Amino acid sequence: MIKRFLIIFLFGTVTLFNAYAQVKPANYGNIPDELVGYDKYMKAYKYHFIEPLIFYGAGREKPFPTGLKEVRLGFLGPLEGSILVREGTQMLQGTMLAIEEANKRGGYKGIPYKLMVHNDVGLWGAAANEIVAMDDEGVWAWLGSIDDIVSHVAIRATLKLEIPNVNTGDPDPTFTETNIPWVVRTIPDDRQSSYIMVNKIYVKDGHKRVAMIRANNRYGRVGTLHFNRTATRLGFPIVIEERFKDGETDFSTQLERIKKTNPDAIAMWGNAKESALILKQIRAMGLKQPVYASDRIVNNTFLEMAGNLAEGLVTTCQYNPDADDPKLKKFKAEYHKRFGMEPDVFAAHSYDGMNIMIKSIERAGLNRAIIRDVLTDMKITNGYKGVTGELVYDGTWNNIRPIYMAEVKNGKFVFSPAQKWEREDVIYKKPSSRYADSGGYR
């Protein structure tokens, strides 16, 4: 028993060291050098979220269970009573496919995996109850969710109960800033989309007066936060920001106010249905400005509702669904065969997320703390290539891999690598760097 404890302790210690040692000086959140806050004036005394939080807690000494007939894994997603049911269903299906394939390979040492499915409805407190229920069920780790509020509440419960979580759908930039060492995120966040969209709208396309219309919820508020900040740092704050409620269908009041500001371009940040209706009403009012949108429009619902009016609209996507990648093509074929539909961004990322979780369990064994160690060990997980691309963790275990642009051409989304920030493209003149000599963090 003492020997086993020492082995587990050393394993955990090495894992923690690897996670710490893999972090290199870099801008937090993959922010371009030109956009670091206050960087034109002086270097900050301390930069947060650069180094991962090390978990020193107990749990690695717990013995592996015996006599199990199934290995339970949790799922939390919007499956009913939410505006995100379509997205939640796709996320569940991607998760199911990964588990079914794992069971065909023999499960965990001959023991089948079983998915314990839980619904979220976007209510404060309800998500915590679902995580408690998962703990009662004896899950070893859980996957989810999409809704920002649900995800934030759920990971507070996962911290208390010490259950590893892989988030594959919540793009809230603040999600991993909670510094909860039991949580990793595999889908790039809205911070990455904001930088790329600001670069496209202001720097590449040359617009100066941009109006924003966004969902009046946490997704809209937090999602546009870095967009607005970045535009302001370039010297072009949003000229007006209008809001709409989930399920709203008449946006004439908001659009009339936008029209009076005479913007160069209009940006939308919301779900597919509302975004399509807004676009149609923009054109019905005679507004001809270019329209940009958040990545949740990348689905057939938006294209079907918007029709020809979607032509030329630009957004981002967390991966390239049309990549010439054998692994992605195989996944899409198997998904369509199993569920009779094309996978979306949530299905693809949940498929990758569950595969990462399963691989961590098979490497660590049935011990939550050691599963957590493997999930957060950057030496093991960084560079993992799934159907959505490589996993590139920053110091908060947030995936910051490069994302893609998406433009509607001939009725379909066409994807291309996002254009990077270049110093010569920056609107303001940035002073010479102070980091070359100091060696400090950016």
What's the start-to-end Cα distance of the chain, in Å?
A: 46
Q: Could you say which of 317, 337, 367 is where a domain stops?
A: 317
| Residue 414 lies inside a defined structural domain of this protein | no
> Structural domain of residue 79, as residue ranges?
2-188+325-390
Cα 439 to chain centroid distance, Å, stands at 31
Quick check: 73 pLDDT over 70?
A: yes
User: Which CATH number is 263's domain given?
Assistant: 3.40.50.2300
360 preceded by a cis bond (ω within 30 of 0): no
- Give one word for 239, left, alpha or beta, with left for phi > 0 and alpha for psi -120 to 50: alpha
Q: Which of 231, 227, 191, 229 lies closest to 427, judged by CA?
A: 231
- 268 and 220 assigned to the same domain: yes
- 203 and 269 assigned to the same domain: yes
Quick check: 435 pLDDT over 60?
A: no
- 289 and 157 assigned to the same domain: no
| Residue 19 lies inside a defined structural domain of this protein | yes
Mean pLDDT of 347-363: 96
Domain count, the chain: 2
Quick check: 439 pLDDT over 50?
A: no
- 270 and 281 assigned to the same domain: yes
- 244 and 366 assigned to the same domain: no
Q: Could you say which of 292, 317, 342 is where a domain stops?
A: 317
Residue 155's pLDDT band (cuts 50, 70, 90): very high
Residue position matching structure tokens 């066409």: 414
CB 316 within 8 A of CB 197: yes
- 263 and 365 assigned to the same domain: no
CB 186 within 8 A of CB 356: yes
Q: In which order are the strands placed within the sheet that holds 71-77?
A: 113-119, 71-77, 142-144, 165-167, 183-185
In this prediction, residue 422 carries a pLDDT of 62
| Residue 67 lies inside a defined structural domain of this protein | yes
C-alpha to C-alpha distance for 417 and 402, rounded to whole angstroms: 8
pLDDT in tens, 375-387: 999 888 888 899 9
- 198 and 180 assigned to the same domain: no
Q: Which of 139-143, 174-178, 376-380 has the highest mean pLDDT?
A: 139-143
- 38 and 182 assigned to the same domain: yes
| Residue 201 lies inside a defined structural domain of this protein | yes
Q: Which of 76, 73, 92 lies closest to 139, judged by CA?
A: 73
Residue position matching structure tokens 């949003």: 238
Alpha helix stretches (DSSP H) within 377-442:
378-381, 435-438
What is the bridge-based pairing of β-strands 142-144 and 71-77?
Answer: parallel
Q: Could you say which of 291, 317, 343 is where a domain stops?
A: 317
Kindly give the interhelix angle for 126-137 and 148-161, rounded to the nearest 10 degrees.
Answer: 40
Count other Cβ atoms within 10 Å, centred on residue 325.
17
pLDDT in tens, 81-100: 888 999 999 999 999 999 99
- 149 and 298 assigned to the same domain: no
CA angle 7, 13, 16 (to 5 degrees): 140
* Tokens describing residue 271: 């779900």
| Residue 403 lies inside a defined structural domain of this protein | no
- 280 and 348 assigned to the same domain: no
- 220 and 278 assigned to the same domain: yes
C-alpha to C-alpha distance for 110 and 300, rounded to whole angstroms: 40
**Concatenated DSSP letters for 343-374?**
--HHHHHHHHHHHHHHHHHHHH-S-HHHHHHH
**Concatenated DSSP letters for 125-184?**
THHHHHHHHHHHHT-S-EEE--SHHHHHHHHHHHHHHT--EEESS---TTGGGG--TTEE
In this prediction, residue 267 carries a pLDDT of 97
pLDDT in tens, 197-251: 999 999 999 999 999 999 999 999 999 999 999 999 899 999 999 999 999 999 9
C-alpha to C-alpha distance for 245 and 215, rounded to whole angstroms: 6
In this prediction, residue 139 carries a pLDDT of 98
Residue position matching structure tokens 């590449």: 204
pLDDT in tens, 286-315: 999 999 999 999 999 999 999 999 999 999
| Residue 401 lies inside a defined structural domain of this protein | no
Q: Calculate what percentage of the chain has a pLDDT beyond 90.
A: 73
In this prediction, residue 26 carries a pLDDT of 63
Q: What are phi and psi of 387, to 5 degrees?
A: -75, -20
In this prediction, residue 21 carries a pLDDT of 40
pLDDT in tens, 1-12: 444 444 444 444
- 55 and 42 assigned to the same domain: yes
Mean pLDDT of 66-78: 96
CA angle 202, 208, 210 (to 5 degrees): 90
Better-predicted residue by pLDDT, 311 or 424 = 311
In this prediction, residue 284 carries a pLDDT of 97
In this prediction, residue 53 carries a pLDDT of 81
Q: Which of 439, 321, 434, 436 lies closest to 43, judged by CA?
A: 434
| Residue 20 lies inside a defined structural domain of this protein | yes
CB 192 within 8 A of CB 30: yes
CB 345 within 8 A of CB 302: no
Mean pLDDT of 309-324: 96
| Residue 18 lies inside a defined structural domain of this protein | yes
C-alpha to C-alpha distance for 372 and 159, rounded to whole angstroms: 11
